[in-house]
Amino acid sequence: MTRNLTFALLCLVAATLPAAEPNGPVITTGTILEQMTDLAQLARWPQPAYRTIQFSSFDRRSTTSESPGWFSNADGFGREPIPGFQKVLREPRDGQPGLFLLAEVNGPGAIVRGWTAGMAGVLRVYLDPGANGDGTLIWEGPAADFLARRTAHYVGKAGCDLDTKNAISQEDADYLPIPFARGLRVTWEGKLDELHFYHLQVRLYPAGTEVRTFDSQKDLKDFEQQLRAAAAGLLAASSGCDVPRVELQGAIEPGRSWTWSPTEKGSGAVRELKLRLQADALDAALRGCLLRISCDGSQRPQVEAPVGDFFASGPGVNPYSSLPFSVDPDGTMTCRWVMPFEKSLRLEIVNYTSAAVRLAGSIQVSPWQWDERSLYFRAKWRADHDLLADSRAIDLPYTVTIGKGVFVGCAAMIMNPSGVPTAGGNWWGEGDEKFVVDGETVPSTFGTGSEDYFNYSWSRSNLFSHPYCGQPLDSGPDTSGYVSNHRFQIPDSIPFEKSWAAILELWSHNRTPGLSYARIAYLYARPGAIDDHRALMPSDLKIPQLPKREPKAAGGATGARFLFPEQLQPVVTAGRIEPAACPLATQLKVTQWQAEKGAQLKFTLPVEEGGNNAIHLVALHRPDGAVVRVLVDGKPLPGGEGGQFSLRSAFAPRILNVNLPAIELTAGPHEVALECVEAGVVGLDYLWVKRE
């Protein structure tokens, strides 16, 4: 596919939209802000029936699924074989930046999401361009500031005293809507050898839709009330429903099921569903108990997923808060997706584990006027275990659906048994998202990397939680172990008239046998839609265990030397030191020390080659972990928080790198001591030393 074909395809998408209904509502910045917290509007076919497309820096050698360049990955790093833009407007010459067309739309629409992992240069955004000009210039400045931080700019410009970080801006994405009545034109002036990663998601409204074009001087003043309500609603999500909650409870024996249906017949909609399982082996119960939700007597449930994974944080209890879901530390899981039904509803939980499970929770069901625009909520989970992940990418389907509906997000649950201790080398998600609408041959959403789709960048291992995206689980080190990512597409939902396919590439930095990739897609669809979901079997509902593995000197650990604690014969001045089982550790055990304040764990570290050496501890972090400082030859090392390193995690245990600053060490033995500053548990997996 050439650049011109990409551009032509997007123009064709806009041209084939149906005409707007007369006297429809006026689309404004304010109306889209209201939709950002309105989950109920997703449960009806949108009016007007917009399309959503994504302009991005994906590798232009990727054309069709059977072309040689389908998995090409030069998508914003710089010096791509084909510039990742719609057109080259001015070739770069003599070291001067070039000018490139990033996006162009003819007709009414709205920018609904921007994202970047880094983009220098100057971005110019024009609204309502005419035949003889570029239109109204609303942005001329740093590209990254518009794509990822425009809300702060425009809020400040309007003089609003409002912090929208973590609400309308989330990680490396920004959701401030920018509507336009007649068109959009975005150009980038920059150097092709510098980073230029970008996503720009745009709604395309039918011709004739009345849209009030964004006014950078007035809109956030005129719609300040909607802006404040959106920010508040995103950060304090609730069902917004005042109907009474019905209590749900029961005991589910192995191999048995629990069911619930409303006592009143007729149409309605679930507004909130809370579930909490109690079991001796809770993680196994959350994966091994299957949730099914069936509307109107369907023999194929519209929802089929393990209880824990349905809430997008599995495996286990990993607390987070978003607009449609939240998970509390006590294991209470809340769903706020609106689930309409015309005549009947049936909830079922089947216990496929070998032990009894207790269920507690509640449900809110409100009246619903079922009509030709009403949509069923659908969530289907699947898992592929024992995959061979490597640099030869493969496409993993999340869902393929035939029918009419709206895609609203997905979540991935990964078990990555890499032995590389750094994200550079153990990253599983180099692959792109590819969303195909209504039989397109070229995806109208083509991304630049899995973490980019989930709104962050550069395979970061930190935990985060936002209204539309999160990483509630990353057991480590870095991006190995168990990882859970999710993104919910609310203002950037993607309607489809006939068919929908959501695919993410699996592409790993290094060859990694035994990887497990579970995922769930969330969408709404009209009755009669069919999909490629295979009914889940008990054998699917397992948590794959991390195998024993050896640390691997690759990626960011290239050239490293690895040492296990037992090789170093550690001694302690107080407390106990002993091996302890740890399913996250490379050898499935750690050297554990119950540390008392002031006590030290000491060992002799052999340095083979003198020079600047960095010492890294791969250590267990858990809620009762210790706080330590590290001394080498009696001298404390800087770093951490004032020279102190916390081995505590907020909730679930994690195995993480404790990265110490590089220091000059002579060849030979050196004493390393961990001194306890605050009492707790110290669990060492291994050390790695790298000459810098």
Question: Contact at 8 Å (CB) between 453 and 63?
Answer: no
User: How many angstroms separate the CA atoms of 155 and 29, rounded?
Assistant: 13
User: How many angstroms separate the CA atoms of 286 and 539, rounded?
Assistant: 14
pLDDT, tens digit, 9 for 90 and up, residues 74-87: 999 999 999 999 99
Say what the alpha-carbon torsion angle 199, 148, 318, 509 is, to the nearest 10 degrees.
50
Residue 14 confidence (pLDDT): 45
Alpha helices, H only, 42-169: 143-158
Q: Tokens representing 54?
A: 């994504």
- Is residue 364 pLDDT above 50, yes or no? yes
Residue 95 confidence (pLDDT): 85
Split at pLDDT 50, 70, 90, the class of 2 is: very low
- Is residue 639 pLDDT above 90, yes or no? no
Q: Using CB atoms within 10 Å of the CB of residue 214, give its burial: 0 to 12 exposed, 13 to 18 middle, 19+ buried.
A: buried
pLDDT, tens digit, 9 for 90 and up, residues 406-455: 999 999 999 999 999 999 999 999 999 999 999 998 999 999 999 999 99
According to CATH, the superfamily of the domain at 559-691 is: Galactose-binding domain-like (2.60.120.260)
Q: How large is the average pLDDT for residues 264-291?
A: 97
* Cα distance from N-terminal residue to C-terminal residue, the chain: 44
pLDDT, tens digit, 9 for 90 and up, residues 381-408: 999 999 999 989 999 999 999 999 999 9
- H/E stretch holding 258 reads strand 257-260
User: How many angstroms separate the CA atoms of 79 and 90, rounded?
Assistant: 16
- Is residue 22 pLDDT above 60, yes or no? no
pLDDT, tens digit, 9 for 90 and up, residues 470-504: 999 999 999 999 999 999 999 999 999 999 999 99
- Is residue 4 pLDDT above 90, yes or no? no
Q: Tokens representing 474?
A: 């990353």
User: How many angstroms separate the CA atoms of 411 and 382, rounded?
Assistant: 11
Residue 19 confidence (pLDDT): 60
What is the identity of the amino acid at 2? T
Residue 475 confidence (pLDDT): 98
**CA 386 to centroid of chain Cα atoms:** 23
- Is residue 10 pLDDT above 70, yes or no? no
- Is residue 104 pLDDT above 90, yes or no? yes
User: How many angstroms separate the CA atoms of 559 and 553, rounded?
Assistant: 6
Q: Tokens representing 386?
A: 């024992």
According to CATH, the superfamily of the domain at 375-534 is: Protein of unknown function DUF2961 (2.60.120.1390)
Alpha helices, H only, 464-596: 565-568
Residue 543 confidence (pLDDT): 97
pLDDT, tens digit, 9 for 90 and up, residues 519-536: 999 999 999 999 999 999
Question: Which residues, 6+ apart, have CB-to-CB distance to 296 below 8 Å?
Answer: 341, 342, 343, 344, 527
Q: Do domains 240-371 and 559-691 have the same CATH topology?
A: yes
Closest alpha carbon to 584 in 626, 542, 545, 551 = 545
Question: Contact at 8 Å (CB) between 312 and 467?
Answer: no
Residue 525 confidence (pLDDT): 98
User: How many angstroms separate the CA atoms of 520 and 501, rounded?
Assistant: 13
- Is residue 5 pLDDT above 60, yes or no? no
**CA 541 to centroid of chain Cα atoms:** 22
Split at pLDDT 50, 70, 90, the class of 359 is: very high
Closest alpha carbon to 547 in 472, 480, 484 = 480
Q: Which residues pair with 488 in a beta bridge?
A: 409
Split at pLDDT 50, 70, 90, the class of 115 is: very high
Say what the alpha-carbon torsion angle 157, 159, 164, 169 is, to the nearest 10 degrees.
-10
Other C-beta atoms within 10 Å of 5: how many?
A: 12
User: How many angstroms separate the CA atoms of 646 and 627, rounded?
Assistant: 4
CATH architecture of 240-371: Sandwich (2.60)
User: How many angstroms separate the CA atoms of 359 and 376, rounded?
Assistant: 25
Split at pLDDT 50, 70, 90, the class of 134 is: confident
Q: Tokens representing 265?
A: 């017949």
- Is residue 183 pLDDT above 90, yes or no? yes
Closest alpha carbon to 601 in 666, 677, 660 = 677
Counting residues of the chain whose pLDDT is more than 70, the rounded percentage is 97
Residue 536 confidence (pLDDT): 96
pLDDT, tens digit, 9 for 90 and up, residues 223-256: 999 999 999 999 998 988 899 999 999 999 999 9
Q: Tokens representing 578?
A: 């002993």
Question: Which residues, 6+ apart, have CB-to-CB distance to 428 below 8 Å?
Answer: 389, 414, 416, 418, 450, 479, 483, 506, 507, 508, 509, 512, 515, 517
User: How many angstroms separate the CA atoms of 415 and 425, rounded?
Assistant: 15
* Mean per-residue pLDDT of the chain: 94
| All structural domains of the chain with their residue ranges | 3-235, 240-371, 375-534, 559-691
pTM tops 0.85, yes or no: yes
Split at pLDDT 50, 70, 90, the class of 130 is: confident
- Is residue 334 pLDDT above 70, yes or no? yes
Planar angle of CA 431, 400, 36, nearest 5 degrees: 75
